[in-house]
Amino acid sequence: MCGIAGILKTGAGSVNADILERMADAMVHRGPDGDGNWISPGGEVGLAHRRLAIIDLSQQAAQPMSNITETLWLTYNGEIYNHVALRRELEAAGRAFRTDHSDTEVLIHGYLEWGIDGLLERLEGMFAFAIWDTDKNKLTIARDRIGIKPVYFTKSGGDFRFASEIKAILSDDAITRDVDAVAMNHFLSFMVAPAPLTMFKGIFKLPAAHIMEVDAKGEMSFRRYWDAVPGRGIDQAEIAGMTDSELEKFYTDGIRSRLEAAIEKRMMSDVPFGVFLSGGIDSSANVALMSQMTDRPVETFTVGFKDHQHLNELQYANRIAEQFKTNHHEVLIDEDDMIGYLDDLVHQQDEPIADWVCIPLYFVSKLARDSGVTVVQVGEGSDEQFCGYDSYMTYLKTYRNFWNGYTAVVPGFLRRIIGAIAGILPRGLDKVSEVLSRAGVDGELFWSGANAFWNVHKRRLLNNTVATDSPGLEELSAAGLDMTGISGPDSGGVISGYLDPFDEKHPRRDRLTRMIHSEMRLRLPELLLMRVDKIGMSTSIEARVPFLDHKLVEFTMDIPQSWKLRGGETKHLLKKALGDLLGDDILYRPKMGFAAPMAEWLRGGFGEKAERGVLNSKLMERGILNRNHIAALFREHREGERDNALHLWTLFNLTSWYDHWIAD
């Protein structure tokens, strides 16, 4: 894992070496083991790299790296798990390698041998990389299929710039800083800005599974090279005619074999590795399967809370650690630890990620790094694929008991009238109001498994009309990036922008499959995986995500809702697939989730700090937010009238970010 950055001059002049170096230095935490930069002889392009050495620790594997004739230069962040097999294929084609086993050099020869599309089709891994091709005078940037690794870009003052983190782009004071009002509107709903938006006006992120090409004039083009859709993982002819018992075995065997392969591939490392262990199904599966593949104890890491035992999963983590004889490490944190970390959190995130899981994630990441481990496996992606969330069950029940019939029977014009009237219902009927409003605009009921403010909430929260214009979106759309729903005032339009094309290509798919597809487009790549990347990398930890191996994702996308929720049981097939490894006390215990006692903290000393910070924020001075309503949210929560923790934490993240990155 590393940090990458670069500058392409699209006007007069040459790349400023000092700016390029500052961009890399802003990400030293992503690569404490070394750095490098390269500027082309003509000065038109510069690439920079910070190295966290994990595969091929030799200096020969340092970056930026070129081919032997120096017509191709690469800076790359990530891991290619099948690089050994690809190297053999390339050597058989006559390609000569200079490194011993660097996956970076595989990318260079793969690009030259197969082109960018052929290379990406073959890659198994997580990555964001940039290639400067001197023969074509073109910069090519790619992000992995799932979006595990980020890359950001901007055009400013005759330059095109990109980096693994926004703070690298902002290391040049000439880059203007302001909030993107469209992104902020969507952030309030999704707890993160949907790609390609960021919270910084004029700075964008490349969506997952996309290729971006930039020519010497700065003209951009985009295309998607993969998507999480049905039809890739299972040959339907193969399962036609199977009995239920045969079909269940086919599904569970397929899940187990692909998960085993994914975990084994992600054990590839020249440095120590381990697992973040909560004692839930997903992390326990990582430990159980990894322990079968190594002859030494697995390093496991768990975080708990000193004063909130009801949220701790330590006993389950210890139970798994004991069963599989791991080398287990624990850290306990409290409110003071959290408060002491907040300033660093705002800086590490670059743009706000309103998920309080970032707090325990930081402390368990630091524990791993302090214990000498550099690489960990995590469980993200399992709940989405196998329906592990209670919120999913609630949405599916609402579809079944109300939405399907209501939208089918009630004419659209009448639903619009009802939806408009519902918008003025009293606050105690917010859920009813929101559901009827979404149905009234032919929107989607399910937006995300992580929703902060609904539209009905934002009508009270925001003083001004929601902005619908974000500078640069028109250029991105003209360059081939799908912007459907991004610039609309209704955040539900973002989800419709994902699902309308999905429905055209994959009609009559069940509700759960549609929900998973939208989660794969927004919540996973931009919220869950970015919290893992940004927080993990802030401690120089590389996190690997076996449940999001694209071959496993393709397989599970072809499994219908009826099997994922057999008998109404969440994660039915995954539990069956792991039944010989994990006991019923792990498989069938109530889901707790990786959480933090934020509701309690917001009723104590932190609540007072958060209220002062939000109400005195420079963002409040812009008149965008309703001060009286926010003060009421804090009072209600403090006095126990309502649980407003998610709203308050989202607002605290937003205003803290603004004061740190924009106002200062």
Same domain, yes or no: 334 and 443? no
The domain that holds 264 is classified in CATH as 3.40.50.620
pLDDT grade for 57, boundaries at 50, 70 and 90: low
Would the pLDDT of 593 be above 80? Answer: no
Q: Where is the domain boundary, 587, 613, 635?
A: 587
Would the pLDDT of 61 be above 70? Answer: no
pLDDT digits (tens, 9 = 90+) for 353-407: 999 999 999 999 999 999 999 999 999 999 999 999 999 999 999 999 999 999 9
Burial class of 621 by CB neighbour count within 10 A (0 to 12, 13 to 18, 19+): exposed
pLDDT digits (tens, 9 = 90+) for 171-186: 999 999 999 999 999 9
Would the pLDDT of 1 be above 70? Answer: no
Same domain, yes or no: 274 and 330? yes
Same domain, yes or no: 606 and 563? no
Go through 360-369 and write b for each residue having 16 or more CB atoms within 10 A of its CB, e for each that does not. bbbbbbbbbb
Nearest-angstrom CA–CA distance, 196 and 429: 34
Q: Give the per-residue pLDDT at 435.
A: 96
Same domain, yes or no: 397 and 471? yes
Q: Give the per-residue pLDDT at 505.
A: 95
Q: 196 preceded by cis ω (within 30°)? A: yes
Cβ atoms of residues 377 and 273 within 8 Å: yes
For residue 7, being part of any structural domain is answered with yes
Would the pLDDT of 191 be above 90? Answer: yes
Q: With pLDDT > 70 as the criterion, what percentage of the chain qualifies?
A: 98
The amino acid present at 139, given as its one-letter code, is L
Q: Give the per-residue pLDDT at 284.
A: 97
CB atoms within 10 A of CB 41: 7
Nearest-angstrom CA–CA distance, 209 and 203: 19
Nearest-angstrom CA–CA distance, 214 and 161: 11
CA angle 562, 124, 535 (to 5 degrees): 85
Same domain, yes or no: 60 and 172? yes
Q: With pLDDT > 90 as the criterion, what percentage of the chain qualifies?
A: 87
Q: Where is the domain boundary, 568, 587, 606?
A: 587
Same domain, yes or no: 66 and 140? yes
CB atoms within 10 A of CB 247: 14
Cβ atoms of residues 147 and 208 within 8 Å: yes
> H helices within 15-139, ranges in order?
17-25, 83-92, 103-122
Q: Where is the domain boundary, 587, 620, 640?
A: 587
Mean pLDDT (whole number) for 313-319: 93
Residue with tokens 């910084």: 200
Q: 150 preceded by cis ω (within 30°)? A: no
How many distinct structural domains can be found in the chain? 4
Contacts of 413-416 with C-beta under 8 Å, sequence gap 24+, read 415/439, 415/440, 415/442, 416/440, 416/441
CB atoms within 10 A of CB 307: 12
For residue 619, being part of any structural domain is answered with yes
Same domain, yes or no: 286 and 363? yes
Nearest-angstrom CA–CA distance, 178 and 663: 9
For residue 551, being part of any structural domain is answered with yes
Q: Give the per-residue pLDDT at 157.
A: 83
DSSP of 107-119:
HHHHHHHHHHHHH
Determine phi and psi for 484, rounding to 5 degrees: -55, 125
For residue 190, being part of any structural domain is answered with no
Mean pLDDT (whole number) for 119-135: 98
Specify the range with the lowest mean pLDDT, choosing from 266-280, 550-564, 626-640: 266-280
Q: Give the per-residue pLDDT at 55.
A: 65
As a whole number, the mean pLDDT across the chain is 94
Same domain, yes or no: 288 and 429? no
Q: Which residues are catalytic?
A: 2
Residue with tokens 């690569």: 31
Nearest-CA neighbor of 448 among 402, 483, 496?
A: 496
Q: Give the per-residue pLDDT at 158.
A: 84
Six token digits for residue 99: 């490194």
Same domain, yes or no: 256 and 280? yes
For residue 218, being part of any structural domain is answered with no
> H helices within 5-102, ranges in order?
17-25, 83-92
Q: Give the per-residue pLDDT at 469.
A: 72
For residue 211, being part of any structural domain is answered with no
Q: Give the per-residue pLDDT at 471.
A: 81
Mean pLDDT (whole number) for 533-548: 96
Same domain, yes or no: 581 and 645? no
Nearest-angstrom CA–CA distance, 152 and 384: 25
Classified as helix, coil or strand, 32 is strand
Mean pLDDT (whole number) for 610-633: 95
Q: Give the per-residue pLDDT at 342.
A: 97
Would the pLDDT of 62 be above 90? Answer: no
For residue 602, being part of any structural domain is answered with yes
Between the alpha carbon of residue 535 and those of residues 183, 299, 376, the distances in Å are: 21, 19, 13
For residue 210, being part of any structural domain is answered with no
Six token digits for residue 386: 């196998």
Would the pLDDT of 528 be above 70? Answer: yes
pLDDT grade for 422, boundaries at 50, 70 and 90: very high
Nearest-angstrom CA–CA distance, 253 and 257: 6
Quote the domain boundaries for residue 636: 598-663
Q: Which are the contacts of 371, defined by CB distance < 8 A and separation ≥ 6?
A: 274, 299, 301, 329
Same domain, yes or no: 365 and 395? no
Q: Give the per-residue pLDDT at 418.
A: 96
Mean pLDDT (whole number) for 612-621: 96
Burial class of 518 by CB neighbour count within 10 A (0 to 12, 13 to 18, 19+): buried
The domain that holds 63 is classified in CATH as 3.60.20.10
Nearest-angstrom CA–CA distance, 554 and 157: 42
Same domain, yes or no: 248 and 381? yes
Classified as helix, coil or strand, 203 is strand
Classified as helix, coil or strand, 300 is strand
